[in-house]
């Protein structure tokens, strides 16, 4: 099995975390560090269940499940600062990065991510790929996040390509739902990347 561009694709849209970047270990370590400071525990399967959603959604769930008397916005800040501090630990997913680099210059390409813009750009700069895309749509650019299709539809709009001719590369269930809702071609990259969970991702 080979990771390929669909014959009908006129534009490519890539998720970031877990698709282009092998960032799950850093996200996991960051949340563990935050919860340790707050004397609570972090359930790692939250990452599996909620991948693709903005950090505030993770923070609100952790606050609720751990009965934390702290603002969710503060949890977001703590987690982001921890993640940014360790950004050099993220690695590329070679198969996806390779396909993307081979396609560069031949077809419009975008990133559609649930990460905030600062986190997304830091990751992409670390991977040295920020200059390879026609547009980057982050959690800060939309109102309705994955599994809603707004992120991917915004990418299609910016690239001026009909959604049905856009091929989405995703590792997250919520992102896949978003791609289906947007009427786009979908490639599940999980068989081509290595994940700490059996079948899991972020």
Residue 202 covered by a domain: no
- Is 199 domain-assigned? no
What integer pLDDT is reported at residue 51 of this predicted model?
83
The conformation of residue 140, written as its DSSP 8-state character, comes to G
What own/partner pairs with CB < 8 Å and gap ≥ 24 does 68-77 have?
68/38, 68/40, 70/38, 75/34
Phi, psi of 135 (to 5 degrees): -160, 155
The residues with which 17 forms a beta bridge, in sequence order, are 21
| 108 in a structural domain | yes
pTM (two decimals): 0.89
- Identified catalytic residue from 15, 17, 141, 171: 15
Whether the CB-CB separation of 43 and 65 falls below 8 Å is answered with yes
Q: Are 14 and 124 contacting, i.e. CB atoms less than 8 angstroms apart?
A: no
Contact (CB, 8 A) for 175 and 147: yes
Q: How many residues does the chain have?
A: 202
Count up the domains in the chain and report the number: 2
Tell me: the pLDDT tens digits for 51-100? 888 899 999 999 999 999 999 999 999 999 999 999 999 999 999 999 99
- Tens digit of pLDDT for each residue in 18-39? 999 999 999 999 999 999 999 9
Known catalytic residue at 71 = no
- CATH for 66: 1.10.150
Residue 3 lies in a domain: no
Asked, for residue 4, whether it belongs to a domain, the answer is no
Owning domain of residue 45 = 24-88
């Amino acid at each position: 099995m080979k990771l390929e561009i669909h014959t009908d694709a006129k534009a490519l849209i890539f998720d970031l975390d877990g698709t282009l970047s092998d960032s799950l270990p850093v996200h996991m370590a960051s949340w563990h560090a935050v919860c340790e400071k707050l004397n609570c525990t972090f359930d790692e399967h939250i990452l599996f269940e909620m991948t693709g959603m903005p950090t505030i959604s993770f923070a609100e769930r952790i606050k609720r499940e751990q009965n934390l008397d702290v603002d969710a916005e503060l949890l977001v800040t703590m987690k982001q600062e921890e993640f940014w501090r360790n950004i050099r630990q993220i690695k590329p997913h070679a198969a996806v990065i390779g396909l993307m680099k081979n396609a560069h210059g031949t077809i419009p390409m975008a990133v559609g991510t649930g990460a905030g813009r600062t986190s997304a750009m830091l990751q992409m700069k670390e991977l040295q790929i920020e200059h390879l895309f026609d547009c980057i749509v982050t959690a800060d650019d939309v109102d309705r996040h994955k599994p809603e299709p707004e992120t991917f539809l915004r990418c299609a709009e910016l690239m001026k390509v009909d959604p049905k001719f856009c091929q989405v590369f995703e590792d997250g269930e919520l992102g896949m739902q978003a791609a289906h809702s947007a009427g786009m071609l979908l490639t599940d990259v999980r068989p081509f990347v290595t994940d700490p969970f059996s079948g899991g991702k972020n």
